[in-house]
Amino acid sequence: MSEAVEQDPGFSVEGYFELVERGLLEEDDHVELLEGLIVSSPPQAPLHASVTMCVDAALRKAVGDRASIRVQMPLLAGPRSAPEPDVAVVPGTPADYRDRHPNHALLVVEIADSSLPQDRLTKSRIYARANVVEYWILNLRDRCVEIHAGPDVDKRLYTALHTAGIGEVVGLVALPGARIAVSDLFPGY
């Protein structure tokens, strides 16, 4: 009879944040927890930072006070994942997250150039499993928004994909009436 080999599942969310509390990770270390692995992120290029600011401003205008906008802050997306999406729209007010990070999001936005494969594969699976209502990838290479909707938690995938380009207007599934021109998400277009 063969003996089952126990695999190392990596870090849990609790273990990950314990590293911060113990000072082994600093809050500005540019890392996130993805499927139990601590993954580093390169410093932001100017275009990435500029697009992040545009997304933040456009979402704040479209969403108003119906939800909270978080920029590059943790989202507890499962027992072994705490990504820090570029922008997230979460239910409630900032006061609701004074003592804990959110574990649900109405919309997550990742801004992608070199990270495009990871955002399409790894992060889309993490966000679908966390039942994030809608996931946008702002594809800097093609200047478009890849809109993922209809999360299937069990299969860890989104059931609908639509791409919107400059000149189009997109709406937020979870917040009817919240609409954004794609050109407002990309500076200078």
Assess whether pLDDT exceeds 90 at residue 41. Answer: no
- Indicate whether 16 belongs to any domain: no
Q: Determine what percent of the chain is predicted with pLDDT higher than 90.
A: 83
Cα separation, 34 vs 99, whole angstroms: 22
Q: How many distinct structural domains can be found in the chain?
A: 1
> Can you give the length of the chain in residues?
189
Cα separation, 23 vs 82, whole angstroms: 18
pLDDT band at 5, cuts 50/70/90? very low
- Indicate whether 55 belongs to any domain: yes
Residue-number span of the structural domain to which 101 is assigned: 44-184
pLDDT tens digits along 92-138? 999 999 999 999 999 999 999 888 999 999 999 999 999 999 999 99
- Indicate whether 39 belongs to any domain: no
CATH number at residue 49: 3.90.1570.10
Asked if 148 and 158 count as a contact pair (C-beta separation under 8 A), the reply is yes
Mean of pLDDT over the chain: 92
- Indicate whether 189 belongs to any domain: no
Residue 8 confidence (pLDDT):
58
Model's pTM, two decimal places? Answer: 0.91
Cα separation, 101 vs 72, whole angstroms: 12
Which residue's structure tokens are 């917040």? 175
Residue 114 confidence (pLDDT):
86
- Indicate whether 25 belongs to any domain: no
- Indicate whether 12 belongs to any domain: no
- Indicate whether 72 belongs to any domain: yes
Asked if 85 and 110 count as a contact pair (C-beta separation under 8 A), the reply is yes
pLDDT tens digits along 150-178? 999 999 999 999 999 999 999 999 999 99
Residue 2 confidence (pLDDT):
42
pLDDT band at 62, cuts 50/70/90? very high
